[in-house]
Structure 1
């Protein structure tokens, strides 16, 4: 993996890396407009945050978002945004470009290689498991730990921040047939059946 930081995304979809279209490739049924995508994902992220917050209040004995520990957890959830993208990036095997779109509340990485469905799902979920679900579940299971208050807030916010990744996972699981591979083309994702292209052999997993 070779990571290239491209700084702020200028909104030009044509400037993003594009894998050459494979024969028979099918575009994911997904939101095409970047502004609409950012608004939709931010609204869904807020809704998920509220749901998690309700669970926290009902199940965590001493939940206090405004405590010193809670504020530390909140700060950590924003400090891990770049490491979050780096965990996405290490799942690639070639060149990866990282962009920020802070005015849209988004950061993302993209590249031109192809993925099996399982590796695409793993790539999408890895940072959310590490920074979100793991600390959140540890905090709920071990509430007497001194750092549990930090972990519950970190996990709650980090899980909600990963809404775009869950959107990609949902699309992959619901649209890609068995044996299909996928690739990124600008802001869009396409899937194809590798056996349809005998002259372009399947990429290794």
Structure 2
């Protein structure tokens, strides 16, 4: 298990301890504005979420949801953002340090580990937070009609599916730019890969 270090509220441009890159490391090209650039990566997860909702409501023949519970689902979904980062963090190797925190100014959370990670593990690490969307949507889909449960699970599931938008973008970028068998190594100034 990696060593997870809670940093609390930090500035988005905070530097974290990093390791020296090997001489053959190549920079991975990423957009300057990660948040803006990742918005398109929310389209498919949103369609998936709405498809689950429509399938359930079609199966039961009614829209069993009480809107009064939706704010609670939204709050729970937002409170799980640090858990999103913990799900990233647990994917690193034993002994590696993962810094987890929030940036209230950007209304964002972060997990940073400047250690080498295989391309395959990087993809798994990036997609792990999808569980925070898949689990509530699966509970909603598989449970009997319940207005309370629907009001909680639907917004939680949508937030859980949309919060990894930058991660989906990173997976796409890594799959395009990083060859099989390579390592991904983040630094304070960006992402790199090497074999």
TM-score range, shorter chain: 0.7 to 0.9
Pick one of 109, 123, 126 that aligns with 1:124. Answer: 126
Q: Which of 4-13 and 173-182 deviates more? A: 4-13
Q: What residue number does 2:55 align with?
A: 59
RMSD: 2.7
Contact 1:135 1:151 in 2 (8 A): yes
1:98-137 alignment runs, 5 A limit: 98-129=100-131, 131-137=132-138
Contact 1:98 1:108 in 2 (8 A): yes
Asked if the contact 2:46/2:162 (under 8 Å) is kept, the reply is no
Residue 105 of structure 2: SS of its match in structure 1?
Answer: helix
Q: Distance in 1 between matches of 2:176 and 2:153?
A: 32
Structure 1, unaligned runs of 5 or more? 194-205
Out of 15-24 and 138-147, give the one that drifted further: 138-147
Q: Could you tell me how far 1:123 is from its partner in structure 2?
A: 1.0
Aligned to 1:170: 172
Cα displacement (A) at 1:159: 0.6
Equivalent residues, number: 186
Distance of aligned partners of 1:186 and 1:47 in 2 relative to their CA distance in 1, 3 Å threshold: same
Local SS of the residue matching 1:147? helix
TM-score (norm 2): 0.80
- TM-superposed CA distance for 1:71, in Å, is 2.7
> Match of 2:117, SS?
strand
Deviation at 1:157, TM superposition (A): 1.3
